Amino acid sequence: MKPAGILGIILIAVGIIALAYGGYTSYTTKENVAKLGPIEINKHEEHPVPLGPIIGGVCIGGGIILVLTGNRKAA
């Protein structure tokens, strides 16, 4: 198999994983809820960063194109 075909298969796998997983947690914010003298009550909140379905679809589409063109014989 040619390198373009192998890269296409890798892109298809990445696209499927991106569609299935949907996102990852990238950062956590800390917010002060209350402060009573030396005692503080804090709230930690995780904010997910979504991997859009568009990115997964583009990876799958590009991978299919690379697999199809990578398997063609040169004329």
For the cut 90, the answer to whether the pLDDT of residue 26 exceeds it is no
CA 46 centroid distance within chain: 17
The pLDDT tens digits for 48-72 are: 777 777 888 899 999 999 999 887 7
Q: Identify the H or E element spanning 71.
A: none
- Position 64 scores a pLDDT of 93
Strand-pair partners of 31: 43
User: What is the reported pLDDT for 75?
Assistant: 54
Tokens of 38: 């030396």
Alpha helices, DSSP H only, in the chain?
Answer: 3-21, 53-70
Can you give the pTM of this predicted structure? 0.63
pLDDT score recorded for residue 20: 86
Torsion of CA 32, 33, 36, 39, to 10 degrees: -60
